[in-house]
Structures are given as structure tokens and as C-alpha cells.
């Protein structure tokens, strides 16, 4: 089931440690309205959703799609660092993406690089990513460290550190203070674009 817009706003707000009053002040609403929106007791228009998305650093298109203000086809949001081309793996299964991945809950990024090749993720592949601001150890995540570009790596939390590990023996894992790492999604699948049919793993 798709996440409701109210639930998404609440989760993002809490993840960013923003109070209802602070968010309300930022977008020009009474804090009681934020509470009602989060609990599904009140709806808001497109402009209000845009202000809320901006205040929380969220994808405006996703907000509008979940709220029913905009249709939600799969979108390519950009490139993600990962190295050089490598042959696609064999024996992949063809299927309809929307049968497996709800576009409201997922987005896509084009992989650039070979840092995840041992996980079967090659240069040029499309990473299908589930929206999430949290991850479990062992998940492959889209992560942003400080002001750097997004990267696709395996996530491990160790005490006050987050270790982001490549799946390439020539590269090394790197550890960062937890506060410096933002999880922007968890890998749900990989779409290969080097063959005629759309395939996923």
C-alpha cells in the first residue's frame, strides 16, 4: 500500500527533527493544521504541498503524486556514482515494472560507475529505489554524505559511525559520523538498459 501524504510528511519531519510548530511557521500555517494534515484529517492544496516539500527538503513531484495532484510515472531523477561499463548478468527475468514496484513508493537513478559490480549493479543500469530515510545493516542504499553527490553503497551502522561499502575489491569502504550521512532510499531492484527488453533483478 502506498504511503499517505500525511504519513510521509510526519516521517520526514521527525527524521529531520522539525517540530510541527516550526514546520507550520516555515510554510505559513497554524501548527494545528500540520497535525491534521499528518493525521489525514485535513487536505492541502498544491502550493501548500510545495512549501512543505521545500521546508523538508523533499521531492516536490513525489509529494504532489502521493496527494493526487499529479500523475506518477517512473521518473529518472539523475545519475548516481558507482564506475566503468561491465557486461550485464545473464538469466534475468522480464516483467512489468508496475506489477512489482509502486511508482508512488519508488524512484529511479541511472548508475554511473563500477563500485557495485559484485552486487550485480553495472554502469548504465537503472537503480529502482524505495523511498526511505532509514536503513538496516546490509541494505544497499542511496546515501548523501555532507554536501557530496548521492552514492550507491552497502550500509552498515557501527556505534556512532556509518560505513558505506562498495561491492568492488579494488575499492575500500569508508566510515563517516552518523550525523553526516543521509539515507535517501533503499535499493529495491535493478533495471538493465543494455538489452532490448526491460528487465529487473
Dist. CA 27–CA 34, nearest whole Å = 10
Q: Which of these is catalytic: 4, 115, 132, 172?
A: 115
| Percent of the chain whose pLDDT exceeds 90 | 24
pLDDT band, very low/low/confident/very high, at 85 (cuts 50, 70, 90): very low
pLDDT band, very low/low/confident/very high, at 64 (cuts 50, 70, 90): low
Fold held by 76-200: Umud Fragment, subunit A (2.10.109)
Q: Which of these is catalytic: 153, 160, 165, 172?
A: 153
Pick the CATH number of 5-66 from 1.10.260.40, 3.40.50.2020, 3.30.830.10, 3.30.1490.190: 1.10.260.40
Residue ranges of the chain assigned to CATH 1.10.260.40:
5-66
Dist. CA 175–CA 196, nearest whole Å = 39
Task: Convert the pLDDT of each residue in 106-161 to its tens digit.
Answer: 888 889 888 999 998 988 888 999 999 899 999 999 999 887 778 999 999 998 99
pLDDT band, very low/low/confident/very high, at 53 (cuts 50, 70, 90): confident
* Catalytic annotation present for 14: no
Dist. CA 96–CA 200, nearest whole Å = 9
pLDDT at residue 196 in the model: 35
pLDDT at residue 197 in the model: 33
Here the cell at position 83 is 564506475
pLDDT at residue 48 in the model: 83
Q: What are phi and psi of 133, to 5 degrees?
A: -105, 5
Residue ranges of the chain assigned to CATH 2.10.109.10:
76-200
Asked whether residue 91 carries a pLDDT value surpassing 70, the answer given is no
* Catalytic annotation present for 153: yes
Closest CA to 152 of 108, 92, 97: 108
Task: Evaluate the CA torsion angle 34, 36, 42, 43 in order and state its sign.
Answer: positive
**What does pTM read for this prediction?**
0.52
Amino acid at each position: 500500500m502506498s504511503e499517505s501524504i500525511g504519513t510521509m510528511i510526519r516521517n520526514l519531519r521527525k527524521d529531520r527533527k522539525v517540530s510541527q510548530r516550526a514546520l507550520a511557521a516555515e510554510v505559513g500555517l497554524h501548527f494545528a493544521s500540520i497535525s491534521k494534515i499528518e493525521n489525514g484529517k485535513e487536505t492541502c492544496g498544491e502550493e501548500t504541498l510545495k512549501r512543505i516539500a521545500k521546508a523538508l527538503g523533499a521531492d516536490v513531484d513525489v509529494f504532489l503524486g502521493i496527494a493526487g495532484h499529479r500523475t506518477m510515472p517512473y521518473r529518472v531523477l539523475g545519475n548516481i556514482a558507482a564506475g566503468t561499463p561491465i557486461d550485464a548478468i545473464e538469466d534475468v527475468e522480464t516483467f512489468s515494472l508496475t506489477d512489482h514496484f509502486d511508482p508512488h513508493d519508488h524512484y529511479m537513478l541511472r548508475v554511473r560507475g563500477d563500485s557495485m559490480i559484485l552486487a550485480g549493479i553495472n554502469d548504465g543500469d537503472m537503480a529502482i529505489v524505495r523511498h526511505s530515510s532509514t536503513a538496516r545493516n546490509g541494505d544497499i542504499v542511496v546515501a548523501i554524505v555532507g554536501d557530496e553527490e548521492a552514492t550507491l553503497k552497502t550500509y552498515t551502522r557501527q556505534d556512532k559511525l556509518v560505513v558505506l561499502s562498495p561491492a568492488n575489491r579494488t575499492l575500500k569502504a569508508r566510515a563517516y559520523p552518523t550525523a553526516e550521512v543521509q539515507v535517501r532510499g533503499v535499493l529495491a531492484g535493478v533495471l538493465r538498459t543494455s538489452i532490448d527488453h526491460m528487465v529487473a533483478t
